Amino acid sequence: MRYSKLLSSLTAAYGAFALVKPRHLADGIEAPAVQAPAYDRMAYTYAGRDLSISGLALASSNPSVVTAAMVLRIVGDVADATILATGTQDSKVRGKVLGVTLGWAALNTLALVADRRALRS
């Protein structure tokens, strides 16, 4: 499950980044200054989710556990896309949000599919 572990490592790195610099989220979606603290709190929740799910995937040698962690990550990214994209009226920002969140979901999906195929062969 090497691709899933690689993506889990990168997701964990993002989680650590979100803890250190939570304002990246508000800045990235160009949120009004008054809304920035709420996006900081959201970034902290992303950090907790991403660190725990990635930690689970990285610590496990059981393919079923790694698969479950990856599915949780993918579903989380799709939920993030929905929540963040509906929080802006700016089509440029919405496109950026959808590109990042759905792009990351797609990368995680490709990693999981590749790893599951490798297990079958």
DSSP labels, 29-43: TT--GGGHHHHHHHH
**Domain housing 13:** 2-120
Q: CA dist 72 to 20, 49, 85, Å?
A: 23, 10, 20
- pLDDT computed for residue 82 by the predictor: 94
Helices (H), the chain: 2-20, 23-28, 36-59, 63-85, 91-120
Is pLDDT of 44 > 90? yes
Average pLDDT over residues 33-55: 96
At 73-91, the pLDDT tens digits run: 999 999 999 999 988 888 9
User: What is the share, in percent, of the chain residues with pLDDT greater than 90?
Assistant: 91
Domains contained in the chain, number: 1
Average pLDDT over residues 6-11: 97
Alpha-carbon torsion, ordered 112, 114, 118, 121, to 10 deg: 120
Q: Give the distance from CA 69 to its chain's centroid.
A: 12
